[in-house]
Structure formats: structure tokens, C-alpha cells
A = this chain, B = another copy of it.
Amino acid sequence: MRCVIFTGAGDNEVVEIVERPDALAGDEEVLVAVSHAGLNPADLSQRAGRYPAPPGFPADVPGLEVAGTVVACGSKVTRWRVGERVFGLVGGGGMAELVAVHERAVAPVPASLDAIGAAATPEAFITAHDAIRTRGRLAPGDTLLVHGASGGVGTAAIQIAVLAGARVLGTVRSDTAAGLVRSLGGEPVEDAGFAAAVDRLTEGRGADVILELVGAVHFPDNLAALATRGRIVIVGVGAGNATELSLLGMMQKRAELHGTVLRARPLEEKAAALRAFEREVLPGLVAGRLRPVVDSVYDVSDVRGAFDRLEGSGKSGKVLISFAP
């Protein structure tokens, strides 16, 4: 099978495409034939040597998600048959033509999604759903503020929140991003001075949940933009890690700050996130009310170009690579 590997730590010079022996399904695993694979910011951290794969996953093959067709089932698999389409999460090794994944870490792909749509879905929608619903407890009538609204997780979060009866504000830095946020049912807000805009738009109430996909640059304004009893959920820190925080401000708003990441979770917690995704997100995908946003698809031979696109600004949704002929 072909797969993408990192030959060491660095930038694109460590990215190669190689032939490896085909992956094999363990007893409780399905083997998935992959035509398209999604890239994620965490892959960039791994490329830089800052985010090694957890034990039990290929150490040098990036890729945190999988979508495709089951081509083999381990002896103890009960949920799936050969020929069914599945998608889900892996701790690494997703950028390969064959991926072995635990049967409880995948969900069924709805007929509404083609191969590209399926590949663009799992990490974005599971991460967004876990962050805003499971961690942030977003409820109908709440206001969600999304920082990083035009990426894969951001575009998924806007749609999930709108479908859940929430109002969604998304910070943007361009007219293109503003149009994207609007097209998904959200309200674009200028990134510069967002706290004042949120205050005005919510008539002083603030956002009940803030999804932070960008980083420390939005602090301390995030606390200013938060409603009493609001929840800030940190999923990405590409634009800054260390921030000054007012503990008294946290007390006065009775605020919650949650850090979260999917990759490092043990199987049972990943599986729980998949079941929650099946329950609350999959019906919206089946009905076509939720749709993954695809920025671009690169042939695997140009995977370095895909990484450049992922790293740059101005994306609208997911960046994918294709193994298809």
C-alpha cells in the first residue's frame, strides 16, 4: 500500500510517499480501503516533531481520521461486513491506502456523502461536536462564538450549533470567510475587536460557549465576550499557547475553561465520542442538513502542496489528499 510518512522532524522536506506492506486487521478491527484522507493541524505538529503518535499506532504515518470501504474484518468484529462504508478516528496512520481501525471507533457513512465528503467529515464533525456539545454543553437558545470559523472544525461547528437551535457568531478576517460563515447559517464578526461586537450583538449577555480553534491571541477578550456561566473550549492553539488569565474574572462570570483533544484518548473514550456523534450528528448528515466543507483535494503525489495549503491562511473547510488513480 502507498502511504505518507514523516522521515524525521521538520517541514515539508521530511514528507515522503512510500510503499509499505498492507495493513492488517486485528481481531476487533476492520480494514478500510481509503480513497481520500483528511489533513489536520495536529499533523503539522507531528511533522514538527512536537506531537508523537500514541502507543499502538504507526509512529511515522500521519493522519488522524479514516473514511472508506471495509475490505476485511477481524475475527471478533460484530458491527460491520465487507463492503460497508465507514468513517472514524485513528491515533495515527490515516494517510494510507489501507487503515486498520477498531470497529467501535467508526460509524456508518450515510449515502448522502460521496468519497470526498466522507473523508472530510470525521475529525471535523466529531471534534466540533465533542467540543461544543459534550464539553461545552451547548443548548438551544445559547449563543456560540467560533474562532477559526472557516476551517474544517469551524465550519462543522457552525452547522452543528445552528441545527441544535443555537445562534452562531464566527470571527473572520476576510470577505470570503464572512460569506462562508453566512452561508452556513452563522453571523460573521470581525476578528479585530470581537469582544465589543459580541457584547453589542448579544445586548450585553455574551456568548454561552466559545470554541477556540486559534489560540491565545483571543485572550483576555474571550473572557470579556463570555456570558455568565459560559464555557470556553480550547481545541487549537496554533496562534499562541501561553495567555494571561484573570482568575477573579473567571469567578465573577462563574466561567469554565476546558482544554480538549481527541487523539490522546483511550479507545473507550474515542468510542464514546463516536457514539455521541452517531446519535446527534449523523442524522443531520443523513438528511443533508449538515454537509462537510471541502477546501481542496490534492493528489497524494502532491501531499507537500496539501500541507502548504493546510498551513496557509484563507482556507474554506477541509484539505484532503487523494489515493484514487
Contacts and interface: CB of A to CB of B under 8 A. Distances in A.
Interface of A: 212, 215-216, 234-235, 237, 240-261, 264-265
**Chain A interface main SS type:** mixed
Contacts of A251: 234-235, 237, 259-261
B248 A237 contact: yes
A252 B242 contact: no
Contacts of A259: 247-256
A245 to B, nearest CB: 5
Contacts of A255: 258-259
B234 A241 contact: no
Contacts of A250: 234, 257-259
Contacts of A252: 259, 261, 264
A242 B241 contact: no
Given A259-B253, A261-B254, A244 B246 contact: no
Nearest 8 A/B pairs, CB to CB: A250-B259, A251-B259, A257-B257, A241-B248, A245-B245, A237-B247, A251-B261, A234-B247
A257 B256 contact: yes
Contacts of A254: 258-261, 264-265
A267 to B, nearest CB: 15
A274 B108 CA distance: 46
